[in-house]
Structure 1
Amino acid sequence: MTRTSAIIVGASSMLSKEIAKQLSAQGIELALLAHDANTISEFAATLPTPAHVYDLTIETPQRLIAQLESVWQEMGDVRLVLINTGLNSYHPDLPWTLEQEIIDVDVRGFAAVCNTAFRLFRTQGIGQIAVINSIAGQRGGPSVAFHAAKAFAQNYLEGLSMHAQRLKLPITITDIQLGLLDKAALQRSRLWLSPVDEVARQVVSAIIKGKRRVYVTKRWRLVAWLIRMLPEYIYNTRHWQNKKH
């Protein structure tokens, strides 16, 4: 058996890379899955522990399931599967092609990863699934499929957690609710936009502590609460103006 290892599904983003750095610094061997593995090969070589890179085929669930099973066997002693995937786009005409792409990745692909990881952890008897999710799932929004997909993810993870409890298995499900960082970036808000290393630090801390649900950064908990509490006629005024794309 090798050292404890983790699989990061969707490893090419800045956040995923920073999380990988922090996990590797703790002696964890990594499997990094990205849409184009070549783009992260040089990064993987800089990590202090072995980091293996693989191409990610999240839009085709059956291939993805087989791929995850293969990576699992290669790694050995996998204790964490971290999922950081997702498409988000907006067009006022809501073209079905765009909606379908988001659903294929954010719903079908996401569920395939979670289902496979849960099954493998169940056989192993222990493990943790952690997901970079979004508070966008609290309510609907102009990016219709994206908001709906994040709500799906939130409920899917809650269901997996309940299932693990019914089976009396030490499988931890961690729902990491990121704030609306894209909007904060567009508004250049120093209050709501935190450095990526701090975001990653809070993510890794939540994973280590085995949190069920956490808001990152912590101040976004207040925004999530306000989003849930606002009556629809007030919440909708945020979206009356045409959104640029």
Structure 2
Amino acid sequence: MQKAIIVGATSGIGKSLALLLADNGYKVGIIGRRENLLAELHTEKPNTFYSLAFDVTANGLEENLQILTKQLDGLDLLIFSAGIGELNKDLNIDLELPTIDVNVKAFNKVVIWAFHYFEKQKTGQIAVISSIAGLRGGGIAPAYNASKAYQINYLEGLRQKVRKQKLAISITDARPGFVDTAMAKAEEKFWMATPEKAALQIFNAIKTKKNVIYITKRWRIIAWFLKLMPSYLYERI
């Protein structure tokens, strides 16, 4: 039986992925801040879910990951689905710093812990829910876009490291556009996917060990335009 941990499993894509993995024979460790929501998820499949409530920005993150891994009796897949981001037109630093704490610092700690675990195990997979927002800067939410760019580049660096060291570790970067969750805060939204549809596409990407996937797939068109658009045009949008 495959074993997975999902960091950020209380709602949205993370919760949908937890249910999907459970339905496909995984033992799943679920992590989140809201203990009541983890408990609700646990009651749906009490013999499949192993829950641990804690804040990923608090001390003891790595120790808690180790505790949950022992409860699962091993680990094959780690999914980082935690993330925050606020619209911040006035550049309020109190909105920017929490985004960095979760999307950069906690992300870094979780991914490095998982990488070293799988390095010793000689096999494993890391999947991260980043965002298409990470392809360019964003004036309406600067820290969010920048934090997702950090994730995208960091994961690419890990793939390079894996290849050079000839390790059997897969690194999957899932980049959603708009998904119908609390994270979809833009004023204008289009091509909105349900969390269930997003989770299914991410699960399929994990199974096939894809490096990068856009959610939904047609967001590759937007990604292509974003990458090609000159800065002088993009800054006027």
TM bracket (short chain): over 0.9
Q: Report if the CA contact (8 A) 1:9-1:56 is conserved.
A: no
SS at match of 2:213: strand
Return the alpha-carbon distance in structure 1 between the equivalents of residues 205 and 193 of structure 2: 17
1:24-72 deviation per Cα after TM superposition (whole angstroms, max 9, x unaligned): 1111000000112222212222138510111132113x41111112212
| Partner residue in 1 for 2:208 | 209
**Residue correspondence of structure 1 range 45-84 to structure 2 within 5 A:** 45-47=43-45, 49-60=47-58, 62-84=59-81
Question: What RMSD, in angstroms, separates the aligned Cα atoms of the two structures?
Answer: 1.6
Q: Report if the CA contact (8 A) 2:50-2:71 is conserved.
A: no
Letter in 2 for 1:118: F
Q: Report if the CA contact (8 A) 1:86-1:105 is conserved.
A: yes
Shift of 1:97: 2.0
Letter in 2 for 1:207: I
Q: Report if the CA contact (8 A) 1:135-1:180 is conserved.
A: no
| Partner residue in 2 for 1:91 | 88
| Partner residue in 2 for 1:241 | none
TM-score normalised by L of structure 1: 0.89
| Partner residue in 2 for 1:227 | 226
SS at match of 2:217: coil
Give the gaps of 5 or more residues in structure 2. none
| Partner residue in 1 for 2:197 | 198
More displaced stretch, 16-25 vs 149-158: 16-25
Q: Verify: 1:113 aligned to 2:104, yes or no.
A: no
TM-score normalised by L of structure 2: 0.92
Return the alpha-carbon distance in structure 1 between the equivalents of residues 100 and 185 of structure 2: 22
SS at match of 2:4: strand
| Partner residue in 2 for 1:243 | none
Number of corresponding residues: 232
Q: Report if the CA contact (8 A) 1:7-1:32 is conserved.
A: yes
Q: Report if the CA contact (8 A) 1:136-1:180 is conserved.
A: no
Shift of 1:74: 2.0
SS at match of 1:106: helix
| Partner residue in 2 for 1:135 | 132
Shift of 1:89: 0.5
